[in-house]
A and B are shown apart, each in its own frame.
Chain A
Amino acid sequence: MNSSYDVIVVGAGHAGCEAAAAAANLGSKVLLITMNMGVIAQMSCNPAMGGVAKGQIVREIDAMGGYSGIITDKSTIQFRMLNRSKGPAMWSPRAQNDRMRFAEEWRLALEQTPNVDFWQDMVIEVIVEKGKVVGVKTGMGISFNAKAVILTNGTFLNGVIHIGEKRFGGGRTAEKAATGLTEQLQSLGFEAGRMKTGTPPRVDGRSLNYALMEEQKGDENPGHFSYKDIEIPKEQRSCYITYTNEEVHEVLKEGFDRSPMFAGRIKGLGPRYCPSIEDKINRFADRNRHQIFVEPEGIHTVEIYVNGFSTSLPEDIQLKALHKIPGFEKAKMFRPGYAIEYDYFPPTQLSLNLETKLVKNLFFAGQINGTTGYEEAACQGFLAGINAHRNCTNEEAFILKRSESYMGVLVDDLVTKGTEEPYRMFTSRAEHRLLLRQDNADIRLTQMAFDMGLADQSRLDRVNDKLAQTANIIKYLKEKSIDPAAINQILVDKETNEIPHSVKLINLLLRPQIELLDLAKGDTHLQEMLNNIPSEFIEQAEIAMKYESYLEKEMEMVGKIKNLEEKVINPDFNYQSIVSLSKEATEKLLKIKPRTLGQASRISGVSPADISVLMIHMNN
């Protein structure tokens, strides 16, 4: 058995899988250790990828050569582009996935990645020598050596599952918790905390009456996540929408006295934006109904995920309450919902490359850092994989800016501000969200990934083609005028004013009612140009022209803060020597060790006045 690796990845969830793939594809020898090889890349919660802000993250991972987008596309059973009615920064791809197919595709992808070895075991210790990680020890008593270790333990560290008054150790339903590692990390000086999350019951689709629910179909022309243009499966499924009612709420209340949440048995903080159904009833008592999404778990399976009904109430109450929901009168339950408490490590203990400040070459990624969501986990794993490899090869850390990616926003938020509740990405977390769109993730990131050897030539060629074709269209629209005779009928059809004399095509495109394809109907040359390129390129050109003024303003704002973002603080900077810094600021700055003045300005407790003080001192 080979026992010496460049990078060891502990855990094979969304973070672990991306980490292993990224490090291996960059050339590291990787060992992926998981407690159960049967459940690699399990979707522990809902069978879906993407959504608002999260879809953008998957696109970013894909643009850099990660696997999440490809796997999602291969296992999609419904695709929707959310927020189509809003501006392009809000368009967010979301897919329902076949849970089993998703996991299988991930496993096959990893098996086919050279440089990835697997080992089924529980890691109970990281081996540290002179402040540097050198390997791991497992429950079976085996030691593996490595130059770098990435921990992606998810909800498994001292995981405790709660259902009503029952409670038992576990990392997921029917899976053992991981023990020992938290305590060892604490003995090394790491600070650990407790978080909570939950999941709804799964039911038998054959027992539901869909006639009483609202059907929610996928897009007529489904898109996809990967820039590799992977075809998604032809066969698609619908989701359904139904609602709870006061009767449901009354039944649920019967179980409140046995609720682990309300009885205080659960100490960890759960996400406010993903509350359990009992929490919703309790906190928003004035609402007499809550929305339930009925989501298929796969193309063939009859198992159904009851989205919106996360609960840790006793299983008898869960079933009784489900029966009061329209369409669920005869529902058979497969598995009850549950809450899970687990250990996490406040992410302010990490540097921007996701390496711990305490132990060199030790990386944390995913839920262990206090995040929630497959996409959030995947992108951390991906970045940790890249940086673990770069540490092995003595290359400088790879850090994405907030103005160039959601991934950069996520890591910067975690490391700089930490998080008290499970952290989920929102578009509102990104101050430059107009620039961080799902349509341009490749333009933003592929070149960088290509330069480090992660994205292949075909990806880069596609980006360059996209840039060239887009520029061509823009140039044409700016130069070409169109006569009233050629376009007026089209304008009338689109309910916008006719033109009295010829105007530049771009002026017409600026009208909200008009799209590039409308103009093409009046200009044969444009039609030919558009016929020969993917619809995504057309979209790109359209966005660039239609929203030019807003995009320019956003770029200007990025420029304004550039000074702060680029002002690097010496890692040995002596904050304590500056008495005019507030005590709180000094403490926080010492703890976080911000890389730049910009990062320092985002630390809570560091005021604009403190930043002025720092700036004055740094300029001296």
Chain B
Amino acid sequence: MSERAYTVIGTRPIRHDGADKVTGRAQFGADLRLPGMVYGAVLRSPYAHARIRRIDVSRAASYPGVLAVVTAADLPEGPDRLLELVEGTLPLSYARANVLARGKVLYKGHAVAAVAALNRHLAEEAAALIEVEYEPLPPVLDVLEAMREDAPLVHEDLRMKEFGEPTGKPSNIGEHFRYELGDIEQGFAEAEVIVEREFRTVMVHQGYIEPQNATALWNQDGRLYVWTSTQGAFSAREAIAWILELPVSQVCVTPMEVGGAFGGKIRVYLEPVAALLSRKCGRPVKITMPRRDVFEATGPTPGTFIRVKMGARRDGRITAAQVWMAYETGAFPSGQCGFGATCMLAPYDIANLRIDGYDVVVNKPSTAPYRAPGATQAAFAAESVVDELAERLGMDPIEFRLRNAAREGTRRADGLKYQRIGCVEVLEAIKNHPHYKAPLGGPHRGRGVALGYWFNIGWYSSCTIAVNPDGTVNLVEGSVDLSGTRTTIAMQVAEALGLRVDQVHPRVADTDSIGPTAVTGGSRTTYATGWAAWEAAQDVIRQMKARAALLWEVRPEEVSFERGVFRAGDRSLSFAELAERLEETGGPIVGRGTVNPGSAGGSFAGAIVDVEVDPETGQVSVLRFTSVQDAGTAIHPGAVEGQMQGGSAQGIGWALGEEYYWSPEGAMLNSSLLDYREPTALDVPPIETVIVEVPEPNHPYGVRGVGEANIVPPPAAIANAIYRAVGVRLRQLPMKPSAVMEALWAKGD
């Protein structure tokens, strides 16, 4: 537990936006109404891979009620640059081509044209009148097939990079990287037990309930205003500006409330299209994505092929690990394989390892981050092998992990040396939890465990704090609030200033109103923006100390500030009392803070799962689930629990039922929430949570971001539990009932 005693941190206040959320007042992107607004609809490719021979928009353009039609021809051209994404960089030409296809369509659902009309129905009818002549090409749909020398090329101009250097080789492999520590030949030679297994996972979607949406107004003053459901107003601004060849300052992005994102709402899809339509018709244009398009045309997460080989001595020490992993990046290169490689063995101190990773393009939607991007697939493989290795050694799965646990000073696969981390603490919490030892009676029941890790990112955030005469403060920040960060950040300000939470008024601002702030993602928000807010609070304190010094005629260094009270000698003023006197001592005070931490302390997570398998049908029921995670310091324990439970439920869905089910031609057949099966309230049990607190060494309050690591353990934990329930190890996701049955039949019971 944290050593310091906090007043606000660790409490569970109701969020500042709570009343709006439960009364329907909160404004999500599709709720926006602007005078003169019209509606857009997007026409999308029916083919997974085809050349566009001809587009004829004339019938759509002349349809009654239609105000504008656009295609890729309406997008500007410009010098190619590298657009920053969370998961790497993407050539601007690719980002542009994803928004509206130029020359070729690269996945079924790829946007080809768009229409603006007086209402949505008219826009859809008109879009259907756009005639597109395609020349179908053979689609590349499997990651291993795509890597073959004779595979059709998705991009004629893509050249493979290897070990960070361009090779000039045309390929569907965007990048081949390698992480290497020690000497794996030596390591495997020392091993007395070796397990080598292959795993497959299928593309899945973040599954947020709110579809993408964007409203754009290309205003008469030449500025482009965009309201959108996004995780990052500033990253969206940059992407929109670059794609449209506008100066960044000419674009103002207002982030609306977001109905779930999980990494899938960082990229821009509709914004540039709505902007082009608005420019053509001179009116605000709103586009909302139908659910089918959300599945087919946004950024799901890669399907993968992963081979893991691990060796250990009989005393339980892992001596070597080798991984060969290939991730689909969808239609454009930029990938998450590296993240998977960084995280999959993170819980272990392994001296000898080699990971070869490949990011491979295929004719599927361009992949985007999904909560700990790349890590869940990799951990499914690694944690299953660890489980099997422990079993072969006759060791308890947690004892085996403790024997090899990463600690401060351990080297991660990519070479980084850990600072203080909570891996051992998470393992101990699992080991000591009643769930781990509870008897599990009944046939076909089993318990499994697994670990997960996400490194968390730092990046830049900016905040300002204005002091009100009544002693409350206005906090302005640029981090889009996905699930309550405006409150967790406000709590850090309240703690720093000795205020109550309700005395801090947080506001998430548009890109004109606050300094640049990186995306809400990477588990950075409570960490980095909280840190920036803390810096702004320190700035406020400094300035207010100077005012108190003026009033008391002492030097500012003689003024102290503790728990909301300024003191010098035997004189004191509370924050509110001093705030009342700001005007007479020089005027209003605004504090500011900007941070850009290079890295952040990562978060370890673990899961204990009990399952029951019906051996006659293959159905797997999750009976009991405990999520453990290192939060560093839990600012709002309820919010931390919520993250753990949400990520766990997503992990359960990923493990047992979610998948992109493909036709042979590369079309997703189950692009609805009926057949893309996200867990309902009946499909998950109550999710117990254990928050471990190993403070992050650099953050003022020891915060570790918690948004992501919790999704990583469930698939492996469930696979390990199924094994103990019915004796089969499943190595493909999802572990759906037919797959369980096939495994049971193969086992031949």
A and B physically associate: no
Question: Which residues of A are in contact with B by a Cβ distance under 8 Å?
Answer: none
B→A interface (CB under 8 Å): none
